[in-house]
Chain A
Amino acid sequence: MSENKGVWVFSEKYDIMLEMLGKGREIADKLQTELAAVLIGRNVQEKAEELIKYGADKVYLVDNPALECFQAEAFLSVLHDLVANYKPEILLIGSTKNGKPFAARLATRLETGCIPDCARLDVEEGKLTGERITYGGNAIAKVAFKSKPQMATIPARAFERLEPQDRSGEVIKLDVKIEEPKTEIVETKPLETSGVNIEEAEIIVSCGRGLEKKEDKALLEDLAKILNGQVGNSRPLAEDRKWFTEWVGLSGHKVKPKLYIACGISGVIQHVAGIRDSKIIVAINSDPEAPIFEVADYGVVGDLYEILPALTEALGKQLQ
């Protein structure tokens, strides 16, 4: 068997592909190997050139009208063929709702291991290790590979994209046999979201079970407005009370704002895992025993219905 070499990245989401190229570049340089991106789609030639600017040495381009939208079986057959032919050493896949099952199936076809949701990647003695949150946020597991290619899935915004540079690289156009899909998409409709991407917010004011009525979120909105921030919520308000469709936490949005204000959030470990990369965490909770205080920089024991309006007013004055 010939030796595997090269670092490859693939995501059906272009932004994650650029972020993975940023980290991929560092890994490839450490391993003194090449960095390649796999680009699948329709009329995407221009993007291939752009991927080189963002760090790729090679772009494997599969341009086909049948591949305009992500479809698991079709994309699987393409990637499986490429990997089987060119044998990369490392394969990073974007950890989206479509990307993760895709990676799991590809790893199964390739009979290799896959480390999901790596927020950190390192090269130690020529071998890749990944770090991921596990045990519901209670722990960080460091994981290594025992099979090739070494596959990992990478969440959005885990790594930074590079500044685009004028560099040269090779675009390899390929024609690949495409497998028939086993499922059919019959309808898509937009999520009833707030329309803002909370994962990119710099300041988040977030509420939990301590909020008595859905309408009271206005109290948080007032504070968020003063701070030019976004409003979020914990899982129970979405999944149990069905007030909202999204939430902050390990199973929802993982956020890393410079300021996270948790109001009436008890601080279960799954929630904390979703906010642990925040720069400053403020906790406002009427229960002095609430675990959120253990992970907060500033804590206030008090009723959010009293503290929030007072804080909004105080900040309004002091920021003038």
Chain B
Amino acid sequence: MKRIIVCLKQAVDVSQLKVDPKTSQLLTASAPRKISDFDKNALEEAIRIKEKLSQVEILTVTASAEDAKPVLREALAIGADKAYLISDPSFQNVDTSGTAYILTEAVKKIGEFDLILCGEASLDSFSGLVGSRLAELLKLPLITSVRKITLQDNTVIAERTLEDVYETVKAKMPALITVTREINQPRIPSLMMIMKASKKEIVTWTATDLGIQQEKIDAKIEVVEVLAPKIERKKIMITGENKEEIAEKLAKALIQEGVAGR
């Protein structure tokens, strides 16, 4: 029996994010939430491992100041066996350091495991630090940016995508792996799977349940402001009678801009 823990972030759905036109502030509080895309790839990979090896239990862990249960229901529908939600209002301003600490305490309480899978980065903040921090706190071998995973007995073999090479790396389990979106195409749960998931368990823990020390989740960095980037583009639409005319006008414009010369 192998046990895989998948870390899931409840992220802001950035494709549905709106900006306050007056202040340029992002309206993150009211934006819909979803499982961070990369984490879905991590979950999908855990399910594929389970499909190959059978005897595998998939647990998900989520740390959030919000009630992430609806999002976790989706994870259970996709194929996780059990979800853990560590939720506490005191998590409101945690940064990657605090999140990794909370996840560490949760993993310790869950107990034995063979593999922890995380997305390489989150959809919304896109920091890409939590998985690595978690590996460090749990003193686990870490393999990042992984696009292929193979398990052999107690060893994990993973293929990483680096800037200029693919690198195949071996580590003894337990280990922590962060995956890229390249690794797989996550499945969409069927109605049957969604119905089955309602019987699965979501375990909820608070900061107190895990003995979280407040000073360890105090933010070490501070977001001063989050503003929509200013887009100052000319937005000139080029039209014409036919494609030749359009092409000639565009070519002329580019040469005048001084960007098309050789």
Contact yes or no, A98 B228, CB < 8 A:
no
Say yes or no for B60: interface residue by CB 8 A criterion. Answer: no
Say yes or no for B135: interface residue by CB 8 A criterion. Answer: yes
Say yes or no for A36: interface residue by CB 8 A criterion. Answer: no
**8 A Cβ contacts from B124-166 to A:** 124-133, 135-137, 140-145, 157, 160-166
Contact yes or no, B135 A135, CB < 8 A:
no
Contact yes or no, B126 A298, CB < 8 A:
no
CB neighbours of A187 from chain B (8 A): 167-168
Say yes or no for A74: interface residue by CB 8 A criterion. Answer: no
Say yes or no for A96: interface residue by CB 8 A criterion. Answer: yes
Say yes or no for A141: interface residue by CB 8 A criterion. Answer: yes
Binary contact readout A200-231 vs B (1 if CB under 8 angstroms, 0 otherwise): 00010000000000000000000000011000
CB of A235, distance to nearest CB on chain B (Å): 8
Contact yes or no, A297 B100, CB < 8 A:
no
Contact yes or no, B142 A101, CB < 8 A:
yes
Say yes or no for A144: interface residue by CB 8 A criterion. Answer: yes
Say yes or no for A251: interface residue by CB 8 A criterion. Answer: yes
Say yes or no for A188: interface residue by CB 8 A criterion. Answer: yes
Say yes or no for B191: interface residue by CB 8 A criterion. Answer: no
Say yes or no for A72: interface residue by CB 8 A criterion. Answer: yes
Contact yes or no, A108 B133, CB < 8 A:
yes
**8 A Cβ contacts from B191-235 to A:** 218-229, 231, 233-235
Say yes or no for B109: interface residue by CB 8 A criterion. Answer: no
Contact yes or no, A314 B129, CB < 8 A:
no
CB of A299, distance to nearest CB on chain B (Å): 5
Say yes or no for B110: interface residue by CB 8 A criterion. Answer: no
CB neighbours of B97 from chain A (8 A): 107-108, 111-114
The prevalent SS among residues of A at the interface is mixed
CB neighbours of A102 from chain B (8 A): 132
Say yes or no for B12: interface residue by CB 8 A criterion. Answer: yes
The number of residues on chain B lying at the interface, defined by a beta carbon within 8 Å of a beta carbon of chain A, is: 87
CB neighbours of B127 from chain A (8 A): 116-117
Complex formed: what's the CA distance from A193 to B162 in Å?
Answer: 12
CB neighbours of A250 from chain B (8 A): 126
CB of B116, distance to nearest CB on chain A (Å): 14
Contact yes or no, A298 B253, CB < 8 A:
yes
| Chain A contacts to B: CB under 8 angstroms | 72, 96-98, 100-105, 107-109, 111-117, 129, 133-147, 182-191, 193, 203, 227-228, 238-240, 250-251, 258-259, 268-270, 276, 279-282, 293-302, 306-307, 310-311, 313-315, 317-319
| Closest CB pairs A-B (n = 7) | A113-B220, A136-B14, A310-B247, A104-B132, A113-B221, A182-B141, A101-B132
| Chain B contacts to A: CB under 8 angstroms | 12, 14-15, 17, 19, 26, 28, 95-97, 100, 121, 123-133, 135-137, 140-145, 157, 160-172, 175, 178, 181-182, 185, 218-229, 231, 233-239, 243-244, 246-248, 250-255, 257, 259-262
12 contacts between A and B (CB under 8 A): A105-B136, A105-B142, A135-B226, A141-B225, A183-B143, A183-B169, A183-B175, A228-B262, A239-B181, A239-B182, A280-B257, A318-B255
